[in-house]
Chain A
Amino acid sequence: MQGTNGFALQTAASGITQLLWLIPAIPMVAAGVIALLKQPARKLAATLAIGSLALSLLLALVAFSHVLSGWTSGHNVRETANFTWLQFGTSTVDLGWVLDPLSAVMLVMVTFVGLLIVIYSTGYMAHDENFTRFFCFLSLFAGAMLGVVIANSLLLLFMCWELVGLTSYLLIGFWYQKPSAAAAAKKAFLTTRVGDIFFLLGIVWLFAQTGTLLFYNSGAGSMEPAALNGLLAAPAALGLSAATVIGLLIFAGAAGKSGQLPLHVWLPDAMEGPTPVSALIHAATMVAAGVYLIARVYPLMQAGTPAGGITTALTVVTWVGAATAVFAALIAVAQDDIKRILAYSTVSQLGYMMAGLGLGGVAVGMFHLITHAFFKALLFMGAGSVIHGVHEEQDVRKMGGLRKAMPLTFATYAIGMLALSGFPIVFSGFWSKDGILAAAKDAHFSRGPFYLLVFGAVLTAFYMTRQVSYVFFGKWRGHGHAHESPAVMTAPLAILAFFAIALGVIGTPAWPWFRSFLEGHAAAIEFGKFGESEFLVLLLTSTLIVLVGLGFGWLLYGSKSPAPEERDVLEKAVPPVWAALRNRLYVDEFYGVTFIAFYKWWAEVADWLDRRVWGGIVALVIWVFGRLAHFDRFFDNEWVNGGFDKGCEELYSGGGLLARVQSGRTQTYLRLLAVAVVVLAVILIWSSRP
C-alpha cells in the first residue's frame, strides 16, 4: 500500500466532520455529569452512560455512512478540521480531527462494542455500591478512546492517550480495597508510562523535524509526502533516518499500550478489574489504541520502503509482534484463571495484529483488530457471565459441565472461542488471521515470522479448547450450583456472537471489501480467487493448523474432568516446561531480579551514601560547631554578656520610647502628620528655589 497516494485528498470539511468532536465529547460530558451524581442515583447514571454512548454510536454511523457514500461514489474521503491551539513565536501547535475510512471504522467499532459492554455492565455491576463511579469512569474511558480515534494531531492523540491510561488505572484499581487490584492498577500505569516516555520523545522529535503535529493538513501535515521526505533526508544515529527512529519511538509507546513483548506484563494483571473493564480494555479500547496508533502513523512507518522489502521500523514491528504472539500463547496454555487465559490470548492476538501491520499493511492489521474486538469482547463478557454464574469463581478447574447450566452463555462462548482460534470459513477470526498468515507467507525478508505465527495459531486453538473443555464440559466441580445470567448480560453476548461470525464476510480474499475500503480502491467480487492454487494451499494450511490445535486440545482435556488438586496433563508430561509456562516464563521475576533489583540496589547505595558519607560529614560539622560553641559560650560569659545585656536594656528603653509614639491618640498622629507636611513643604520650596 502506497501511503496516501491511493487517496484523492479531499479536505473540504463537511458538516459531520465539523461535528466529529461531539463523538468523544458526549461521553466525557456524561462522565462529568455522572461524577456529580450521588451514589443512589444508579438508574440515572446508567441511563446517562448508555444514552451518551448510543448518541456517539449514532454520530459514528452518520460519519461512517458519509465516508462510505464518498467511497462508493468513487472519490475517497479524508476530511480534516484543524485549528490553532497554541502559538508561540512563529511556530503554532495545531489540533484537529480527521474523518477517513480508518477513523470511521474504528469509531463505529469502539462505540458499538463500548455500548454493548456498558449495557452488559449494568447487569454485571448491579450489586456494586460504587455503581455510579464505575459508570463515570467507563464513559470517560470510552470518550478518551474515541478522542484517540478521531485525533488528527499527534498531540491531541497523546492527550487522549494519557487520558486512556489514567482511566484504565482508575478502572483496573476500581476495587482498590483489594491490594492485588491496587497493585495491578499501579503496574499497568507505570508500565504503559515507560512506553509513553518514548512516545513523547518521538512526538517532540517529530515536531522538531517537521514543525507540525497534524497528520493530514492538505499537504502540510506530518504524514504527507513533503514532511516524510524531509524526515527521510534527516539523518539520525547509527545510519538510521529520522523517520525510522521516530517510528520506532512511537512504536515503543504503542507497544506499551498494546502489551507487546517487553511491556506486556501489566495486561494479565489488569484482570483484577471488573470483567466489563477487562472486556473494554482488551477488546475495544486500550490495547486497540496501540495498534490504531501504528495504523495512523503508517505512512511514517513505511516511508522510504526499499523495493520489494519493508522498512526497518516495520521489520521491528513484525518481529516483535510475532514473538509476542507465540510467547503469550505459550503462557496462556498453562494458566488456570479463566480471565488470565483470555488476557494472554489477547496479548498474543495483539502480536498478530502488529505482525499483520508490519507485513501486510494497515488493512490486514486493522481487520484483525476489528474482528478480534468483537469476539474478544464476546469471550470476556462470556467469561464474566460464567464468573457471575458460578459465584465469582475464576479458576477453571473449579468449574465444569456448565453447558447445561448456562446454555446461552455456552453457545455464544463457543462461537467466540472458535472465532478466536480461527475455525475455517464461517468465522471472522479465520479470515482475519488468514490474511495475516498470507501476508507473512510472502514476506520477502524472512520466513521466521510466518513459522512463529503458525505455531501461535496452533497454540491458540489448543489453549482455547483446553479452557472450554475445562469450563463447559466434564462434570461440575465447583460448590453451590451455577445459574444462567440475566438477559441484560446475555443479549449483548448474542449480538456480539452474530458479529463474530458475520464480520468475516467483508474480509474474504474473494471479496476484500474491507481492504479496498481502507485503501480506497473499488472492491470487486471474484470467486475465481477461491480457485487459485496458492490461496487454496494457504486455506488448507490454516485449516489444518486449527484442526490440529483443536484436536490436540480435545484429546488432552476433552470432557474428562480432573479434580482441582489433580495435576495437569501436560504437567505430568513435561514438568519443567510446564513450570516455566505456569510462571509466565518468569518475565515478572526477570524484571524483579533486573530492573527492580537494580533500583533497590541503587536505593540502598543512595541510602548508604546518606548514612555514611553525608551523615559523616554532617556529624563532623556538628562536632566542629559544638567545639566552637563551647568556646563561644566561654567567650560570651566572660566578655560579651555584660555588654550585650547593657545593649538589651538600651534597646528596651528605646522600644518604650518608640512605643510612646504609638499612643493610640489620634491627635498625636495628626500632629506628626502636620510636622511631616511642614518638613516636606520646606524641602520642596527649598529645592525648587532658583
Chain B
Amino acid sequence: MSPLSCYLLVAALVFAIGLAGALTRRNAILVLIGIELMLNAANLNLIAFWRYGPNPAALTGLMFAVFSIAVAAAEAAVGLGLVISIYRHLRTTDLDEISRMKG
C-alpha cells in the first residue's frame, strides 16, 4: 500500500461522498457543497500525483490544482448566485420541486 495509493483512495472516498451528497440531498445549496467536495477530491488527486510523480520540479499538478481552486471559487460564486435568484423566483431551493425544465 504505497502512500500515493492511500491518498488516491482518500480522494476517491471524498469524491464518492460528494457525489452521494449531490445525488441525495434536496437542497440546491447542499448539492453545490457536494460538487465542491468532488472538486476538492480531484485537487487532492492532482497534488498527490504531483508530489509522487516522476517530475515534481515541473510543478504541473500543483499549478493545475491552484488554477482549479481559483476556478472553483468562481463556480461557487455563480452557482450560489443562481440558487439565490432561483429562490427569489420560486420561493424554494428544493430540487424535487424545481422541475420547470421538464421535457
Please name all residues of chain B whose beta carbon is closer than 8 Å to the beta carbon of A664 when the two chains form the complex: 98-103
> Which of A477-485, A545-553, A569-577, A665-673 makes up part of the contact surface?
A665-673
B23 located at the interface, meaning its Cβ lies under 8 Å from any Cβ of chain A in the complex: yes
Tell me the bound Cα distance from A634 to B63 in angstroms. 73
B22 located at the interface, meaning its Cβ lies under 8 Å from any Cβ of chain A in the complex: yes
B19 located at the interface, meaning its Cβ lies under 8 Å from any Cβ of chain A in the complex: yes
A667 touches B31 (CB 8 A): yes
CB within 8 Å for A662 and B103 given contacts A670-B22, A674-B23: yes
- With both beta carbons as reference points, the residue of chain B lying nearest to A671 in the complex is identified as B23
Please name all residues of chain A whose beta carbon is closer than 8 Å to the beta carbon of B100 when the two chains form the complex: 664
Q: Out of A661, A662, A667, which one reaches B23, CB within 8 Å?
A: A667
Please name all residues of chain B whose beta carbon is closer than 8 Å to the beta carbon of A671 when the two chains form the complex: 23
- With both beta carbons as reference points, the residue of chain A lying nearest to B99 in the complex is identified as A664
A238 located at the interface, meaning its Cβ lies under 8 Å from any Cβ of chain B in the complex: no
B45 to chain A, nearest CB (A): 14
B94 to chain A, nearest CB (A): 11
A667 touches B22 (CB 8 A): yes
A665 touches B22 (CB 8 A): no
Please name all residues of chain B whose beta carbon is closer than 8 Å to the beta carbon of A662 when the two chains form the complex: 102-103
A663 touches B102 (CB 8 A): yes
A665 touches B96 (CB 8 A): yes
B9 located at the interface, meaning its Cβ lies under 8 Å from any Cβ of chain A in the complex: no
Q: Out of B23, B102, B103, which one reaches A670, CB within 8 Å?
A: B23
Chain A: interface secondary structure? helix
B95 located at the interface, meaning its Cβ lies under 8 Å from any Cβ of chain A in the complex: yes
Please name all residues of chain A whose beta carbon is closer than 8 Å to the beta carbon of B95 when the two chains form the complex: 665-667
Tell me the bound Cα distance from A662 to B98 in angstroms. 13
A671 to chain B, nearest CB (A): 6
Return the CB mask of A651-690 against B: 1 if under 8 Å, else 0. 0000000010111111100110010000000000000000
A665 touches B103 (CB 8 A): no
Within 8 A of A (CB), among B52-103: 95-96, 98-103
B49 to chain A, nearest CB (A): 17
Tell me the bound Cα distance from A671 to B95 in angstroms. 14
A666 touches B31 (CB 8 A): yes
Please name all residues of chain B whose beta carbon is closer than 8 Å to the beta carbon of A659 when the two chains form the complex: 103
A499 to chain B, nearest CB (A): 79
A662 to chain B, nearest CB (A): 3
Within 8 A of B (CB), among A64-91: none
Within 8 A of B (CB), among A450-480: none
A665 touches B23 (CB 8 A): no
A673 to chain B, nearest CB (A): 10
Please name all residues of chain A whose beta carbon is closer than 8 Å to the beta carbon of B96 when the two chains form the complex: 665
Please name all residues of chain B whose beta carbon is closer than 8 Å to the beta carbon of A670 when the two chains form the complex: 22-23, 31
Please name all residues of chain A whose beta carbon is closer than 8 Å to the beta carbon of B22 when the two chains form the complex: 667, 670
A665 touches B99 (CB 8 A): yes
A681 to chain B, nearest CB (A): 11
A303 to chain B, nearest CB (A): 74
Please name all residues of chain A whose beta carbon is closer than 8 Å to the beta carbon of B101 when the two chains form the complex: 664
Please name all residues of chain B whose beta carbon is closer than 8 Å to the beta carbon of A674 when the two chains form the complex: 19, 23
A594 to chain B, nearest CB (A): 69
Tell me the bound Cα distance from A674 to B97 in angstroms. 22
Tell me the bound Cα distance from A665 to B98 in angstroms. 7
Tell me the bound Cα distance from A674 to B35 in angstroms. 12
B96 to chain A, nearest CB (A): 7
Within 8 A of B (CB), among A317-331: none
Please name all residues of chain A whose beta carbon is closer than 8 Å to the beta carbon of B23 when the two chains form the complex: 667, 670-671, 674
Please name all residues of chain B whose beta carbon is closer than 8 Å to the beta carbon of A666 when the two chains form the complex: 31, 95, 98
Please name all residues of chain A whose beta carbon is closer than 8 Å to the beta carbon of B99 when the two chains form the complex: 663-665
A451 to chain B, nearest CB (A): 92
- With both beta carbons as reference points, the residue of chain A lying nearest to B35 in the complex is identified as A670
Tell me the bound Cα distance from A674 to B31 in angstroms. 14
Given A665-B96, A667-B95, 10 other A-B residues pairs in contact with their CB atoms under 8 A: A661-B103, A662-B103, A663-B99, A663-B102, A664-B98, A667-B23, A667-B31, A670-B23, A674-B19, A674-B23
Q: 10 closest pairs, A vs B, by CB?
A: A662-B103, A664-B101, A664-B99, A664-B102, A665-B99, A659-B103, A671-B23, A667-B95, A670-B22, A667-B23
**5 A/B residue pairs, CB under 8 Å, sorted by A:** A662-B103, A664-B100, A664-B103, A665-B98, A670-B31
